Amino acid sequence: MPAHNTEIADALDQVADLLELEQGNPFRIRAYRNAARVVRGLGTEVASLLARGEDLPKVRGIGADLAGKIKELATRERLPLLDELRRHVPAIALELLRLPNLGPKRVKLLCEKLHIHSVEQLHRALLDGRVRTLPGFGAGIEKKLLEAIEERSHVPSRFKLAAVEGLAAPLIDHLRKAPGVGQVTVAGSYRRCQETVGDIDIVATAAKGPPVTTWFTQYPEVVRVAAAGDTRATVVLRSGLQVDLRIVPEESYGAALHYFTGSKAHNIAIRRLGQENGLKINEYGVFRGRRRIGGETEAEVYKAVDLPFIPPELRENRGEIEAAAAHRLPKLVELADLRGDLHVHSTATDGHNTIEEMVEAARALGLGYIAITEHSRHLAMAHGLDPARLRRQVAEIDRLNAHIGPFTVLRGIEVDILEDGKLDLPDSALAELDLVVAAVHSRFNLSREQQTERILRAMERPHFTILAHPTGRLIGEREPYDVDMPRLIDAARERGCFLELNAHPDRLDLTDTHCRMAKEAGVLVSIASDAHRDTELSYLRFGVGQARRGWLSPEDVLNARPLEELRPLLRRTIA
């Protein structure tokens, strides 16, 4: 679709913003801002002028080069210069620019002086009074920014991924029994394995006959039918989750699945590629003129624009399309790639199953090893281990390993990182272990500098192996503590230790962004269940989804290695 004048002007303004962030030529920046104002003020749509074969009106300050870029935006909805600038500017800078009273100069100050890497960190800096100390900021701007950030948090409630899985699975089973139904797939942010889901989209195929939508709306959990027709329906379940169903013919299944999986940004980019090749791509298929040339499968959609299949978890328009075009898409980690779990609890502290029961559950999942990592003594509420109890558990694990056959229990601990950066147990106790998982469980409100230094000092301890749930967040319940993740990742690389992706659906900590940062730094990530009962070992699947969103391959995952390859890596961090 041709772009509207407002969209063209917004793109020109964004070019100016990004050029200013990069300290570009001030005359060039001014030219783009002037062009944006001119386009917004035109009485006629640029796209309409061009469609009629007319040229842009002659306007002072818009030369041939800028006019060409405006035409490009009007007809193709993209500008290579803008794409290039976006690649060189941190994503957080673009997000901060959307907040009121934050222009390029102020965003640059926030990033360079306060090292802001997220909106959450900006929120803390505002509450701490650090922002108002910067030149050009004051109490008025501080108040407006706080109001804007807090307003952003008042979004409609979202459901954690695990909760949606529990709601979607029986609904899908119900739909598959509908007369005439064929394929049934949950699309949307659920299929992309986002941490939370606002509503779910289901794509189904059906032959002519009794409408599947009637069967769908009669699902026992439905409390309200918002809309219903022969090919689409919307309902609200008892849980409050909204579900949208779209019925398509088999020949449109792939195109519809691609469209309703999203993300919106990814879909727009794919449609633009199609337009550049004279194609129209929508939820019904891929068309050249009126002739359908593809759309039965998602692979056909991508093939139409000369791309290989892009996994759903990557579809966020964060470089996956360029990587696919260059044949550089990673081979993403899969659940079957995991050989073990390096963060497991038992009844020795706050777990609900014995070590033997956790071993049997891990075996049933096809794993070859687990690490028993009880809490240390500082976490009194979990009845954490002191050195004497830890030694007794080590002896118990050694006895168990002597007779459990082709399976290994690794001797570990989840030791607290104290406020001063020391570990909760002495080096003499930790030296007896195969690995030490270290975690922050207290004083979450330290400043970013204090929290970061605390963890960095812990990483320097001779027996530190893995940093567990690195930001301490609980989704929807507790914000991540303020910490400089790039510094922690750099330190992990230098020290040769590892980061955990805690797969518990309440945590999913690391974020996808931090996973990708770790990958690029060459820091291995441990996908761990943090299981406190045998059934929770299956949480690994949520961790794998998050890892895939973070572009991780099996080579990037510590516990995707067999035990004989894992042990030397663990010994590197045990002095």
Helices (H), 132-185: 139-153, 161-175
What CATH number is given for 5-153 in this structure? Answer: 1.10.150.110
Distance CA 373, CA 385 (A): 10
Q: Of 477, 458, 388, nearest to 428 (Cα)?
A: 388
Distance CA 455, CA 459 (A): 6
pTM score > 0.75 for this model?
A: yes
Select 335-573's CATH number: 3.20.20.140, 3.90.1570.30, 3.30.200.20, 3.30.950.10. Answer: 3.20.20.140
Distance CA 446, CA 35 (A): 46
Q: Token digits for 532?
A: 């406190």
List the beta bridge partners of residue 144: none
pLDDT of residue 3: 63
Phi, psi at residue 183, to the nearest 5°?
-80, 145
Helices then strands (H, E): number in the chain? 24, 17
Q: Of 540, 158, 521, 202, nearest to 341 (Cα)?
A: 540
Distance CA 401, CA 38 (A): 75
Distance CA 242, CA 226 (A): 9
Q: Of 313, 329, 383, 327, nearest to 351 (Cα)?
A: 383
Element (H, E) at 46: helix 46-51
Q: Token digits for 349?
A: 């502290």
Q: Token digits for 181?
A: 């139904």
Q: Which pLDDT tens digits describe the chain residue by residue (575 residues)?
A: 456 677 788 888 888 888 888 778 888 888 888 888 777 766 567 777 777 777 777 766 678 888 888 888 887 656 777 877 777 777 788 788 878 788 888 888 888 888 888 888 888 889 888 998 899 898 888 888 888 887 766 555 788 998 899 889 999 999 999 999 999 999 999 999 999 999 999 999 998 667 899 999 999 999 999 999 989 999 999 888 999 999 999 999 999 999 999 999 999 999 999 999 999 999 999 999 999 999 999 999 999 999 999 999 999 999 999 999 999 999 999 999 999 999 999 999 989 899 999 999 999 999 999 999 999 998 777 789 999 999 999 999 999 999 998 999 999 999 999 999 999 999 999 999 999 999 999 999 999 999 999 999 999 999 999 999 999 999 987 889 999 999 999 999 999 999 999 999 999 999 999 999 999 999 999 999 999 989 899 999 999 999 999 999 999 999 999 999 999 999 876 54
Helical axes 80-88 vs 5-21, angle rounded to 10°: 40
3-state secondary structure of 211: coil
Residues spanned by CATH 3.30.210.10 within the chain?
A: 253-325
Q: State the Cα torsion 318-324-328-329 to the nearest 10°.
A: 70
pLDDT of residue 1: 45
Q: How many CB atoms lie within 10 A of CB 287?
A: 19
Radius of gyration of the chain (CA): 27
Whether residue 471 contacts residue 459, with contact meaning beta carbons closer than 8 Å, is answered with no
List the beta bridge partners of residue 186: 202
Query: Going edge to edge, which strands form the sheet with 181-186?
Result: 181-186, 199-206, 242-248, 232-237, 222-228
Q: Of 251, 259, 256, nearest to 292 (Cα)?
A: 251
Residues spanned by CATH 3.20.20.140 within the chain?
A: 335-573
pLDDT of residue 166: 87
What CATH number is given for 253-325 in this structure? Answer: 3.30.210.10
pLDDT of residue 548: 98
CA distances to 117, 229, 261 from 192, rounded to whole Å, are 24, 27, 7
Q: Cβ neighbours of residue 253 under 8 Å, at least 6 residues apart?
A: 182, 183, 203, 205, 295, 296, 297
Handedness of CA 357, 560, 508, 409 (dihedral sign): positive
CATH fourth-level superfamily of 159-248: Beta Polymerase, domain 2 (3.30.460.10)
Q: Cβ neighbours of residue 387 under 8 Å, at least 6 residues apart?
A: 425, 426, 428, 429
Whether residue 234 contacts residue 201, with contact meaning beta carbons closer than 8 Å, is answered with no
Distance CA 572, CA 450 (A): 27
3-state secondary structure 346-376: CCCCCCCCCHHHHHHHHHHCCCCEEEEEEEE
